[in-house]
Structure 1
Amino acid sequence: MKLRDYQQLARESIQQQWDEGVKKTLLVLPTGTGKTIVFSKVIEDRVKKGERVLVLAHRGELLDQAADKLEKSTGLKTATEKAEQTSIGSWYRVVVGSVQTLQREKRLEKFKKDFFDTIIIDEAHHCISDGYQRVLNYFDAKVLGVTATPDRGDMRNLGSYFESLAFEYTLPKAIKEGYLAPIKALTIPLKLDLSAVGQQAGDFKTSDLGSALDPYLESIADEMWKVAKDRKIVVFLPLVKTSQKFTEILNQKGFRAAEVNGESKDRAEILEDFENDKYNVLCNSMLLTEGWDCPSVDCVVVLRPTKVRSLYSQMIGRGTRLFEGKTELLLLDFLWHTERHELCHPAHLIAENDEVAQAMTKKIEEAGIPLDLEVVEQSATEDVVAQREEALAQLLADMKKRKRKLVDPLQFEMSIQAEDLSSYVPSFGWEMGPPSEKQVKTLEKQGIMPDEIDNAGKATKLLERLDRRRMEGLTTPKQIRFLEQRGFEHVGKWPFDNAKKMIDRIAANGWRIPQGVNPKEYSGE
């Protein structure tokens, strides 16, 4: 099997990391871009070197898929370490193992610590859990973690375990290069109140979510009929009972809906019927987030709001694969009302940061029509950059002012108790015009911030007062600013020389107030 360019690059990058002495490395590939094919080829490379490889996963379907893909793409057969099945005594070089089985002490101890040379973790965002860590810490092996997203539900960073990111292929790049379907997002104008929903393990409590959603299910079904009745839809819900209830409502509205859950005895049959278009909506309570593919899905409805990007990406990933006649994936988003702002929205699939994601979410909400995520991201990024540049220009201007140490005219007027200046209102035409360029320069030179003086009359009066004070030997604006910042009062009435002496004393004392001087009581004499 010939790999795509990015798949081959990923394969080489992983081997390079190990060759350079990095033992634990990570591969990030979006759902639908062939992560199983890539790690199958990596396994083939290791087996050719005479190594033994363990593929570790937390669900039986993932192990079966890995074994199947590995054999189809490389010809390598596998032994299984799961429940009553064991790989002990097998001559196969590759073992697919269930973490639930292998984490048991008795099971682990049947293996030597150096039995496996390489361990591959499928859906690596789960690997920080205690069960995985028990297995990974037991074996002395190189490790490759494979995930569609590097986020982790309990907010502990995967970087706490992995030493490097060998390769990452982004969702926008996969769409741009034609390997995944374009994504359009539409915000449904229903306000769903989640403010009373509790928290558990870093995300919303599913039991609370079910209760919070119930009052809205009829309205959601009506909105879905308006915008997606002709689409092939997967709906994710928080609870089995909510999923079953919503399926009934959808069927009443005219959809052909089915529901699957962990207890469904006819699950395989329902999934096959959905694939063959007997149903056009499939509802589930988080059962189909991993290990299930149906490329013809062209609409995903997330009624299980989450703060966990890995979970959100897994749900959306059920609809990103290419299929003949499929032009795009439609994501239906809702106006979730929550006390918290970390909720995942379609924007989080491609936005580089939260600032851009927020701007994108706002644009999608305001549009009222499906918008292409890439187009919105470009527009939102431009807006955010423009806002940043504006804020930066303001910051630079403020810094310039601070650097010049100019005095706010109001501070100066209050210090010298010049009520005639602070209450001044221009009367004549020339007074109402802006200060002249010469006035602005002179005010700056004398230590006054000219930006706050918006008319020529005030500038004239202020300059006259400054001239008079200079002739009378009183404090300058800069002296006033310096001393009042350090707690001295009514510095505007001090003689220039007295202020200079105090500033010199402070400077000689390491810019600290000299001992025995109380700024509040010091009169400046």
Structure 2
Amino acid sequence: MFKLFDYQQKLVNSTRQALAEGHKGVLIVSPPGSGKSVVISEIARLTTEKGGNVLFFVHRKELVNQIKDSFVKQGVDLNNCTIMTVGKVANRLNYLSKPNLIIVDESQHSRAKTYLKIFNHFSDVPRLGFTGSPWRLSGKGFKDIYSKMIEGPSVKWLIENHKLAPFTMYGYRLGDESKLKRGSTGDYTNKSLEDFSKSIIRGDIIKSWQKFARGRKTIVYCHSVQFAKEVAKDFRWANISAYEADSKTPEKERDKIMQDFKDGKVTVLCNCDLISEGFNVPDCSCVVLLRPTESLVVYLQQSMRCMRYQPDKQAIIIDQVGNFTRFGLPDMDREWTLEDRSKHPQREGGSDGIAIKTCPNCFGVIMASYHICPLCGYSFEAEFRKLAEDKRAELEKINLNAKEMRERKKKEKELLLRDPSTFTSFKEFAIYGKAMGHKPGWAWHRAKAKGLIK
């Protein structure tokens, strides 16, 4: 059996307390890599131990197999469990016996029709949802599915307490971002991702990996199977052991590639949407992000895949498509909610922008407040001085404009007390005419009649 960490046991206790209080839907939020499967297995064990039946479902077959292994290790009575993909459960509702508890993993998908169909069928059965990020591109919340949310520790806390590996992120923007277009889902369209990928010089991908992560067990995330195959081929041309695996790769071949990667026979594993949820290789210490995304869920799952804890491990994240500019660093504090939210994430540079920057010397992604890059020692003092000078110049301009406005108002009051026949310049006619509400041509005609305009 697993020995739960204190924070995992706290999640178990808080969840059981919420159910005891009468909540029919409880959403448990804990970061990727924090061991949600252990918490799920313990809750399932406690339920089956008392003779209760558990219905567990998730959206991918690989995750079903993984949770079965976790249940067995935790001593869960599988005779009292139904463990399937969500599609299979939805198609068998009329044949399934009523469970005592429903458990859903990766429950950010809970708004999908198949999930709602199951929830509605077993409407009086308590449900638990587990996720690393309760966030959907549509902005729609989960308050109609879950009445209570329980949050686990933050990413920062997990790093500080040696439950996740610390990381260094390097940020590039290799492609032409003007090619990216959002589709109906809120994320970038396949066509625009394809156009974007064509603007990437793939040789730069290999160069940056050799510079920052040479020899590290690495997962590369791509937007398409074809692009993943091309990137793997480029790595092999550089004499680096690299292979591509996807959902259409024959099962035996895919299993061999995955096992070779775990065993260290394959250094770089390129994929398209295959390795985002549940894939656990603790000694993988680098990820390369080549798929631009508007999804915070996708970003966190992919960027944090290399942060599974091992002693003395320092993870490397190479974001070559600028996702960090949309979402910040993986360990930034985030406020989760069951309520609806704005559709798109905050953007860098706005009044609420993400306070990060890229070091021009080493390309490390660091907090914007740093005067010295903690990765390479580069000094930002010259830039801060220029920024201060620009702000002073801007302030002086504002003050100057304010002074001009005061002088203009004073002149206007003076002219309103005079007879226009005494005016000696077109400017005086223009100020007087504007103050009196005359049409713009009035000042020109009066000035011309007086011989001030030729």
Q: TM-score normalised by the shorter chain: which range applies?
A: 0.7 to 0.9
Q: CA deviation at 1:322?
A: 1.6
1:210 correspondence with 2:194: yes
| 1:427-454 Cα shifts (integer Å, max 9, x gaps) | xxxxxxxxxxxxxxxxxxxxxxxxxxxx
Kept after mapping to 2: 8 A contact 1:351/1:357: no
Tell me what 1:516 maps to. Answer: none
Tell me what 2:106 maps to. Answer: 123
Q: CA deviation at 1:369?
A: 4.5
SS in 1 for 2:178: coil
> How many pairs align?
375
Tell me what 1:51 maps to. Answer: 52
Tell me what 2:274 maps to. Answer: 287
Kept after mapping to 2: 8 A contact 1:120/1:144: yes
Q: CA deviation at 1:365?
A: 4.7
Kept after mapping to 1: 8 A contact 2:164/2:308: yes
| Equivalent position to 1:238, from 197, 219, 223 | 223
Counting aligned pairs with the same residue, the percent is 25
SS in 1 for 2:291: coil
Q: Distance in 2 between matches of 1:418 and 1:50?
A: 94
- Of structures 1 and 2, the one with the larger relative CO (CA 8 A, separation 6+) is 2
Q: Distance in 2 between matches of 1:324 and 1:203?
A: 36
| Equivalent position to 1:219, from 194, 204, 209 | 204
Tell me what 1:332 maps to. Answer: 318
Mark the CA change 1:374 to 1:330 in structure 2 (over 3 Å): closer, same or farther. farther
Q: Distance in 1 between matches of 2:412 and 2:14?
A: 68
Structure 2 unaligned blocks of 5 or more: 336-344, 374-404, 418-434, 437-454
**Aligned AA (2:214):** K
Kept after mapping to 2: 8 A contact 1:26/1:145: yes
**Aligned AA (1:288):** I
SS in 1 for 2:84: strand
Match runs of 1:69-468 below 5 Å: 69-73=70-74, 75-78=75-78, 92-104=79-91, 107-111=92-96, 115-139=98-122, 140-188=124-172, 190-200=173-183, 201-216=185-200, 217-265=202-250, 266-326=253-313, 328-334=314-320, 336=322, 344-347=326-329, 349-352=331-334, 362-366=356-360, 368-370=362-364, 409-410=406-407, 413-414=410-411, 416-417=413-414
Kept after mapping to 2: 8 A contact 1:222/1:253: no
Kept after mapping to 2: 8 A contact 1:207/1:239: no
Kept after mapping to 2: 8 A contact 1:14/1:167: no
Kept after mapping to 2: 8 A contact 1:23/1:142: yes
Structure 1 unaligned blocks of 5 or more: 79-91, 380-407, 421-488, 491-525
Q: Distance in 2 between matches of 1:29 and 1:192?
A: 33
RMSD (Å), alpha carbons: 3.3
Q: Distance in 2 between matches of 1:18 and 1:374?
A: 43
**Aligned AA (1:331):** I
Q: Distance in 1 between matches of 2:355 and 2:283?
A: 26
Q: CA deviation at 1:364?
A: 2.7
SS in 2 for 1:225: helix
**Aligned AA (2:52):** E
| 1:402-440 Cα shifts (integer Å, max 9, x gaps) | xxxxxx8457525523699xxxxxxxxxxxxxxxxxxxx
Tell me what 2:444 maps to. Answer: none
* Structure number with bigger Rg: 1
Mark the CA change 1:158 to 1:214 in structure 2 (over 3 Å): closer, same or farther. same
Tell me what 2:439 maps to. Answer: none
**Aligned AA (1:416):** K
Q: CA deviation at 1:108?
A: 1.0
Mark the CA change 1:111 to 1:187 in structure 2 (over 3 Å): closer, same or farther. closer
